[in-house]
Amino acid sequence: MRNMYIYLLIMAGVSYAIRVLPMTLIRKPIKNKFIQSFLYYVPYVTLAVMTFPAIVEATQSPISGCIALAVGLTAAWLGADLFKTAVLCCAAVLAVEMFLL
């Protein structure tokens, strides 16, 4: 039980340091284009890393998840809005799992 509190304190310290250190160490605006573009895309990459595995594992079969991912990517590439893309992905999962299972 004692180790759990030590782990929690270390985790809290690291989480706090990650948020406070950039504010205290970087006072001037960032002018480097590479760093600006890197920081711009960090939230999108983080969301993608959390979302893509869940898409494949959320269905009964990983095959239907992969097909839904392909359908969603295709629909988004062709300009479908978020609602249409979600409906097409759900329909793809439904169709694949009806024929697969």
Give the per-residue SS3 of 25-72: HCCCCCCCHHHHHHHHHHHHHHHHHHHHHHHHHCCCCHHHHHHHHHHH
**How do residues 1-25 score in pLDDT, each as one tens digit?**
778 999 999 999 999 998 888 888 8
Other Cβ atoms closer than 10 A to 70: 12
Q: What is the pTM of this model?
A: 0.60
pLDDT (tens digit per residue) in 42-91: 888 988 888 888 888 889 989 999 999 999 999 999 999 999 999 999 99
Q: How far apart are CA 57 and CA 63, in angstroms?
A: 9
Burial (0-12, 13-18, 19+ Cβ within 10 Å), 76: middle
Judge contact between 89 and 71, C-beta under 8 A.
Answer: yes
